[in-house]
Amino acid sequence: MAQAPIALGQAVNRALETAMEADPKVIVMGEDVGALGGVFRVTAELKDRFGADRVRDTPLGEAGIIGTAIGLALRGYRPVCEIQFDGFVFPAFNQITTQLAKLRSRSHGGLTLSVTIRIPYGGRIGAIEHHSESPEALFAHTAGLRLVSPSDPQDAYDMTLAAVACPDPVIVFEPKSLYWSKGTVNQAEADPGRASEVLNRARVLRRGDQVTLAAYGPSVPQALRAAEQLAQTGTAAEVLDLRSISPIDFAAIEESVARTGRLVVIHEAPVFFGAGAEIAARITERCFYLLEAPVLRVGGYHLPYPPALIEHDHLPGPDRIADAVRRTLEF
């Protein structure tokens, strides 16, 4: 019997439910995650099922949420923290980058902190200031953190399970614009032990031999739409879903570039000092004699996130991606 498609946000909910059923040490915590079910209703009904002790509404204080989660993890719990919006994470930046990311190294591996931080991020929802940002590069610069971002419900389900099971802290950047996008989710085949698959490895979503489009999270559907648009003019673009922002699966990118000879990296975050800059530098070093053209980047501009009415001009869409492909084909 075919499974009915579910939304990405609902896939995260089911993954949390699965993790909480399997391990009583898994605790969900954050602002309004209990009775309300979160701003995007991702944690809806979890409090009814598991009670207020395991689905905890916290005060409005992100530093306190992460600080408490660190203490819980040191006592053997597996806290899953929700940051209500991307732009609200910065009060907890110190706790995340100087404590959560460092304690395993500081203790020479004696301490592990299995903390999952869920951050709804990105634009395309017409939100106000501090509600559509993409701060992933700030955290990717910090050693000791894993960063992932799903682009469909199946990966959202698998990544959430793997993040909760991981002994290291994991930040799951959940694309707000994709919360309502639907797809089938095979829960029977999902295995929390597949962390090396969904937390580390990229995947090819579309084959091509002229240019590689590498993207993650909310930019993956845009890359796929651009590939469709390019195909109508005879250009075969390969689409690579990076999945993991830190670590980056450079081997998969190299393998794809060996086939295509060209690379365009896409993300909503500003291209200035963004993840695409690191990818461009590494691939230029490793694939210099395979590249037919410079690596190009398509992303947000180096400015504060704009008002909702003009955010479409700020974010990379199929037209801007296709234009970059045409430029790289001219070399």
Residues catalogued as catalytic: 131
Backbone angles phi and psi of 248, in degrees to 5: -95, 135
- Cα dihedral 89, 62, 32, 141, rounded to 10, equals 30
Report d(CA 227, CA 218) in Å as an integer: 15
Report d(CA 185, CA 188) in Å as an integer: 9
| Closest to 263 in 3D by CA, of 281, 245, 243, 244 | 281
| Closest to 66 in 3D by CA, of 142, 118, 111 | 118
Helix or strand run (H / E) with residue 258: helix 250-260
Is residue 177 within 8 A of residue 218, CB to CB? The reply is: yes
